[in-house]
Structure 1
């Protein structure tokens, strides 16, 4: 009986998880996806053209997580760190080659994942959370990561380990 109950509970959890994911995807209509894509593309374009409007698209309490393990900032700290990059013609350039957009049923919270083409870091992946306010969208969380192919992950892990040892 216990084994049957465990299977039933596992099946229920799996069904609810799949149903929730399908519901979130279905809740994201084409119009909202188009708005989100335009907003995030403009945000990336602000960085590519070193426009300080980049930071205005982030919530005051917004978090940015970069690729280095030390890169975890709230918006104003991120702005202070990145200011030297925004003094150039281009801070950095991210071009989305794929983006998936999801939303809560009331569309007040939106999240996305994207595959990025970057000239300096190669392919990257990122995910973000957007809050919809009376003034429009604002990014509350963004996490960037380098897309490391599984076939070379052991080599990358070795280089990171050697770097960590040398830094001590």
Structure 2
């Protein structure tokens, strides 16, 4: 795991600032054709993982960041690829199916961000958000963050389990 450097963090902040000043936010409903393209790209990305296709990593920008559910899981693309190799050596790495996705874009559509609710067979319901950059070659994922969707009614139990796990030094 590599922590983001001050330079990388500044890069993300600059991208966010630029992105918020490029003509406002366009919601998915404002451009159905563009949203369909974005959804197809993200769905294909998830399908690449479900079928252990290495093309999964080609869809992540070279400077892309992937944040998993464990607090140690913060990787640049190539580190993530090395970590995930053992999963991609099988017929299936992991399976995420979006049951809902909201897509937003800068005015010029060069930066796209989305949030999604996911059905996963191993972790149950998850939520994720991502940032996509549109380049001359197509879309690339710049940032993706996955989290487990914990119902509020059981959050105290989950918090207790995490505390016990941490106290045990695991």
Query: 1:70 and 1:26, CA in 2 relative to 1: closer, same or farther beyond 3 A?
Result: closer
Query: 1:112 and 1:122, CA in 2 relative to 1: closer, same or farther beyond 3 A?
Result: same
Partner of residue 120 from structure 1, selected from 119, 122, 125: 122
1:8-157 paired onto structure 2 within 5 Å: 23-25=25-27, 28-157=30-159
Distance 1:72 1:28 in 2: 33
Deviation at 1:160, TM superposition (A): 0.2
Deviation at 1:24, TM superposition (A): 3.0
Structure 1 residue aligned with 2:6: none
Question: Unpaired segments of 5 or more residues in structure 2?
Answer: 1-23
Distance 1:72 1:137 in 2: 21
Q: Which is richer in helix?
A: 1
Q: Check the 8 A contact 2:52/2:91 in 1, yes or no.
A: yes
Distance 1:23 1:49 in 2: 34
Question: Rg bigger for which structure?
Answer: 1
TM-score with structure 2 setting the length:
0.84
Distance 2:38 2:48 in 1: 15
Secondary structure of the residue aligned to 1:115 is: strand
Query: 1:116 and 1:108, CA in 2 relative to 1: closer, same or farther beyond 3 A?
Result: same
Aligned residue pairs, count:
148
Question: Unpaired segments of 5 or more residues in structure 1?
Answer: 1-21
Distance 1:51 1:129 in 2: 21
Q: What is the aligned-residue RMSD (CA, Å)?
A: 1.6
Which runs of 4 or more aligned residues in structure 1 lie more than 4 Å from their structure 2 counterparts after TM superposition? none
Deviation at 1:28, TM superposition (A): 4.8
Secondary structure of the residue aligned to 2:26 is: helix
Secondary structure of the residue aligned to 2:93 is: coil
TM-score with structure 1 setting the length:
0.85
